Structure 1
């Protein structure tokens, strides 16, 4: 083998996957077809669950310290939601949830590249994949210049037009795009103090989101815009005059374009692969699902795909993965992707992206705006848009409010729960110091934190999801399900 795992694509999904794999102690090669990192931010925000994942790896503080990353306001179909979701149920003193942060994709990618390079992993660029073959032992990737790499597993993180997905002939059902809108990184005047979303009476609309500041300290913004007559083919260049005309249609003369940094046309296509796993190849991020980039759920969903998959591949390479662990990647993340596609399609309809001003759509939106004032509705939608509502099925385990969910950052006194996960291993919270013997055979894979009241005993997977709570009689079966056979020499 040339490497244990080959990651194709050096966007946020591929970079997160590479980080998880290195943490799991497996050799990794990360390739990308581009000669240099793109200057275009395809996403501008990092949601709560992804921020928690970064905190669980010790990366959040250095990321936020590296620039101006303001707190953003969450929304559903342009209707404002609370800045942060309500606390999770369960015992313990929960620290406040991380609010949504503005971190442009280019900034996130640059941060990860520097972090990975510090561990000896540099992105291999100019690697255009042209062929793929696999057998019972390995995957072989061939590139346009004739080079090839052989790996035990391959992670396809190569975007919405994934070459890996095409070579696999993977089924990718869903809906093709019906219209385009503009997403641009800009500097504006007159936008301070304005609400995030704006609609004109004739159907034109614009969304303005903070992106921090440029190298000279000037505020950057992500501008999304569309409306009647503004859906043009994706290959038509976007001009400054087109942007100015769209701004005039919504704001009159109040908001002016100062600089157009980058722009692209996006579609409302909504597709998801039928299977996330194809033998030794795993699809992640936009290679597995595409949809409107509302709430940066594409980038964040891809990073969560990688966070779910990385430790499982590490377990497989190191020989302790229990039966079905790799298959659980598809089970868990396909369900999560389906949930995202459903909420994005609903938002696209409620936002009236085409600018039809259809009375039925407007009436539905007005009713929805009333419903969103109900606490339970806000809580549910906040959980969807923050990523904290993700809940994985936990078979053969008694029901509990925390099971399958991301563990809240419980304050344990001298340490926080998230800090316990920085090793990339599982964690058993043992507040009564009564489970040392039970977990000892898994000590090479699971850390035990004893005497940290007041919490229930709970087992946490390396990706931060709770997989067992409270019942000593079922602890052994949960350890075996997620962490493999016990070490007989322990």
Structure 2
């Protein structure tokens, strides 16, 4: 083998996965067909759960130190959810994808992990021991596993002939990174009487300290072929149709057309090949969910691949990647489709649709409705099935951040290992047989005992008799 894992695609998903495999002490080759990193930000919002996961790896603080990354208010279909702003330790932030990619690339380089650019995959062959990948420059890489993180038009997925069911795009909208002047400098969703609409939210500042904005535009007659270039005049006209003279265009950094296509791979695992990120699911970018879902795919898969490479993974462990992540992305596609409908992107002003939206907006004034939507959009409401762990309310959810005296529990996850919180010092004997994979901590702390997987999800709490089966289920046979 040339490497344990070959990652195809160096976007946020592939870069995050490479870091997870580094923590797991797994050799990794990361390739990308682009000769250099793209400077285009296809995404910009970072969910609470993604920030929490970065914090659990010690990455959030240095990432935030790179610049001004504004805190925003969550929204559903452009309807603000102000009651949710302070629910989580890490609020929704605007961090452009290009910033995240640059940060992760530099972090990996500092750890000795380089990527091979200008490397276009042309073929894959799978056998019982591994994968043979061939590239356009005649390079050949032999690996135990391969992960496709190569985007919505995934070459790996095409070579696998993997099913990618769903709906083709039926309309396009404009997405652009711009500088604006005027009084609309906060995140907003505005609509004119004739159905034209615009969404603006902050992207931080450029190197000169000038505010950047992500702008989306749509409405009657604005759905043009995806390949049609977006002009400055088109953006100015769209702004004028919604804001009049209140907002003016100063500069366009980049602009493109996006579609409302919604597709998801039928299977995320194909033998030794795994699909992740946009290679596994595509949808209209609403609510800052696409990039976050891909990053969390990587967090879920990384430690499991590490366990398989090191030989202690239970037989079912790699299959839990599809079992856990496929329903998450399916739910994202459903809520994006609902938001797209409520936003009336084509600007039809259909009276029936307007009545539904008016009723929905009224419901979102209720606290419980805002909290439910926030759980959906923040990633904090994701709950994985945890067989045999009982009915404890924490099981399956992201772990709480506990004060354990000298450290907080999120800091214990920076090694990429499991963590057993054992405040009463009751489980030393059983934990000792998994100590090469699970750290034990929290003795004497005022906390509830729980077992946390390397990706930050609680896989046991409460019933002492269920601890040993949970350790075996997620961490394999004892040493």
CA distance in 1, matches of 2:389, 2:344: 43
Partner of 1:16: 16
Specify the SS of the correspondent of 2:19: helix
Q: Deviations over 1:301-336 (max 9, x none)?
A: 000000000000000001110110000000000011
Structure 2 residue 230 is the aligned partner of structure 1 residue 233: no
Structure 2 residue 172 is the aligned partner of structure 1 residue 172: no
Residue 454 of structure 1 deviates from its aligned partner by 2.2
Q: How many residues align?
A: 479
Specify the SS of the correspondent of 2:415: coil
Residue 41 of structure 1 deviates from its aligned partner by 0.2
Partner of 2:472: 480
Q: Is the 1:44–1:103 contact (alpha carbons within 8 Å) kept by the matching residues of 2?
A: yes
Residue 191 of structure 1 deviates from its aligned partner by 4.1
Structure 2 residue 354 is the aligned partner of structure 1 residue 362: yes
Structure 2 residue 338 is the aligned partner of structure 1 residue 346: yes
Partner of 1:455: 447
Structure 2 residue 337 is the aligned partner of structure 1 residue 334: no
CA shift in 2, pair 1:260/1:318, >3 Å: same
CA distance in 2, matches of 1:258, 1:146: 46
Q: Is the 1:84–1:97 contact (alpha carbons within 8 Å) kept by the matching residues of 2?
A: no
Structure 2 residue 232 is the aligned partner of structure 1 residue 246: no
Specify the SS of the correspondent of 1:422: helix
Q: Deviations over 1:428-472 (max 9, x none)?
A: 000101110011100000000132432211000000000000211
Partner of 1:470: 462
CA shift in 2, pair 1:6/1:191, >3 Å: farther
CA distance in 2, matches of 1:86, 1:465: 22
Structure 2 residue 303 is the aligned partner of structure 1 residue 316: no
Task: Say which of 100, 106, 114 aligns to 1:114.
Answer: 106
Alignment of 1:130-209 (within 5 A): 130-193=122-185, 196-209=188-201
Q: Is the 1:83–1:99 contact (alpha carbons within 8 Å) kept by the matching residues of 2?
A: no
Q: Deviations over 1:204-246 (max 9, x none)?
A: 0000010000011100000011111001111111110010011
Residue 412 of structure 1 deviates from its aligned partner by 2.4
Partner of 1:102: 94
Partner of 2:57: 57
Q: Is the 1:85–1:382 contact (alpha carbons within 8 Å) kept by the matching residues of 2?
A: no
Specify the SS of the correspondent of 1:73: coil
CA distance in 1, matches of 2:434, 2:64: 35
Q: Is the 1:41–1:105 contact (alpha carbons within 8 Å) kept by the matching residues of 2?
A: yes
Q: Is the 2:32–2:119 contact (alpha carbons within 8 Å) kept by the matching residues of 1?
A: yes
Q: Deviations over 1:28-63 (max 9, x none)?
A: 010000001111100011110000000000000000
CA shift in 2, pair 1:168/1:53, >3 Å: same
Structure 2 residue 402 is the aligned partner of structure 1 residue 410: yes
Partner of 2:69: 69
Q: Is the 1:429–1:452 contact (alpha carbons within 8 Å) kept by the matching residues of 2?
A: no
Specify the SS of the correspondent of 2:227: coil
CA distance in 2, matches of 1:335, 1:47: 18
CA shift in 2, pair 1:306/1:195, >3 Å: closer
How large is the Cα RMSD of the aligned pairs? Answer: 1.1
CA shift in 2, pair 1:86/1:406, >3 Å: farther
CA distance in 2, matches of 1:108, 1:339: 25
Structure 2 residue 428 is the aligned partner of structure 1 residue 431: no
- Superposition misfits of 4+ residues, deviation over 4 angstroms: 83-87
Alignment gaps of 5+ in structure 2: none
Residue 86 of structure 1 deviates from its aligned partner by 7.3
Structure 2 residue 283 is the aligned partner of structure 1 residue 255: no
Specify the SS of the correspondent of 1:295: coil
CA distance in 2, matches of 1:67, 1:83: 27
Q: Is the 1:389–1:405 contact (alpha carbons within 8 Å) kept by the matching residues of 2?
A: yes
CA shift in 2, pair 1:159/1:191, >3 Å: farther
Partner of 1:392: 384
Alignment gaps of 5+ in structure 1: 88-95
Specify the SS of the correspondent of 1:482: helix
CA distance in 2, matches of 1:39, 1:370: 40
Specify the SS of the correspondent of 1:42: coil
